């Protein structure tokens, strides 16, 4: 899950863990922890055989790693105001849907701006993105699946925006000739977020209705949250204004005793023939370089 905040990143991490743990437990049940006193497999007895001793040590390391895995784990993004949470055993889009349903009335966030469910990551080089997208996009667009789609691209440097959108759009159309771009009311929104040298990909429904997953926008929206349950395909919903006000001021900070794990990972892994370029600001293609979303992250150029 990709989270953006407004300056207070540590407070954001605390809020994120509190929110995710609460809704994770509610949606998937309480997280199960391994007893610290429980010995890892192969830890009992001694073996004088060198080969057996090595296998035992490897097994202990693997078991220790498995024990340390958590449902939600902070991954270092190395970018200001950007927080990335790795999930284990959950579906981020379902979890975020539940959060958006309630955050409207509970208003449990103060510094979190966006919480975008990310389905996959890869290196932010065009060839890597193309290769990864060929398999990544199959569940939504490969025969027999199909749908109207739109691609949004966000990066500090949008000089590669047209090229990336053209290539990804071509891949979508190759998977099924019935896949068509729709800039008004798409069934699927293919979101491309570039964080330094990492490309984060996501395919979501009701992107505009959910205010681009901007929690502050959802909270201040005058629309009834029950509309988030409506089926995709309502043209009026697809046209809802969804300006992402990333420069929104922080509200008063409340107390939060949630402890933030010290150990973190580092983020950095995974045609119509000529689809139109669309950026999140809704600007015209020729103004793409000026239409990056209002988020103040200091993402590096797409290599």
pLDDT tens profile 216-271: 888 887 555 455 554 433 433 333 333 343 444 433 343 344 444 444 556 664 44
87 versus 278: which is more confidently predicted?
Answer: 87
Report if residue 96 sits inside a domain: yes
193 versus 71: which is more confidently predicted?
Answer: 193
Which pLDDT does position 54 carry in this prediction? 72
178 versus 27: which is more confidently predicted?
Answer: 178
Mean of the per-residue pLDDT values of the chain: 74
Report if residue 12 sits inside a domain: yes
Report if residue 103 sits inside a domain: yes
Report if residue 158 sits inside a domain: yes
- CATH number of the domain residue 137 falls in: 3.30.2300.10
* DSSP code per residue over 213-231: GBHHHHHH--S-GGGGGSP
Report if residue 56 sits inside a domain: no
Domains held by the chain: number: 1
Report if residue 251 sits inside a domain: no
Report if residue 172 sits inside a domain: yes
Containing domain of residue 211, as a range? 2-30+67-222
Give the tens place of pLDDT for each residue, 39-55: 444 444 444 577 777 77
Determine which of 120-129, 205-214, 239-248 has the lowest per-residue pLDDT on average: 239-248
pTM of this prediction?
Answer: 0.64
What does the DSSP 8-state code read for residue 198? E
Q: For 115-139, what is the HEC assignment?
A: EECCCEEEECCHHHHHHHHHHHCHH
Which pLDDT does position 266 carry in this prediction? 60
Report if residue 155 sits inside a domain: yes
Residue of 68, 110, 73 lying closest to 88 (CA atoms) = 73
């Amino acid at each position: 899950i990709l989270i953006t905040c407004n300056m207070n990143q540590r407070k954001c991490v605390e809020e994120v863990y509190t929110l995710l743990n609460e809704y994770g437990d509610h949606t998937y049940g309480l997280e199960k922890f391994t007893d610290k006193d429980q010995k890892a497999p192969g830890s009992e007895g001694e073996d004088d055989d060198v080969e057996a001793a090595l296998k035992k040590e490897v097994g202990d390391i693997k078991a220790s790693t498995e024990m340390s895995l958590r449902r939600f784990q902070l991954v270092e993004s190395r970018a200001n105001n950007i927080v990335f949470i790795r999930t284990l055993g959950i579906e981020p889009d379902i979890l975020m849907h539940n959060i958006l349903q309630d955050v409207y009335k509970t208003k449990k966030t103060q510094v979190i701006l966006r919480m975008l469910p990310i389905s996959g990551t890869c290196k932010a080089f065009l060839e890597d993105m193309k290769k990864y997208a060929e398999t990544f996009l199959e569940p939504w667009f490969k025969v027999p699946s199909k749908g109207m789609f739109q691609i949004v691209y966000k990066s500090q440097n949008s000089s590669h925006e047209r090229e990336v959108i053209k290539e990804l759009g071509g891949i979508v159309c190759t998977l099924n000739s019935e896949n068509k771009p729709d800039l008004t009311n798409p069934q699927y929104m293919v979101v491309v977020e570039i964080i330094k040298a990492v490309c984060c990909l996501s395919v979501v429904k009701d992107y505009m209705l959910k205010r681009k997953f901007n929690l502050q926008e959802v909270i201040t929206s005058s629309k009834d949250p029950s509309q988030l349950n409506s089926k995709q395909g309502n043209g009026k919903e697809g046209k809802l204004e969804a300006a992402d006000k990333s420069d929104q001021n922080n509200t008063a900070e409340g107390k939060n005793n949630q402890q933030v794990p010290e150990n973190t990972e580092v983020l950095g892994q995974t045609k119509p023939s000529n689809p139109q370029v669309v950026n999140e600001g809704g600007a015209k293609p020729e103004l793409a370089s000026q239409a990056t979303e209002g988020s103040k992250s200091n993402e590096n150029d797409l290599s």
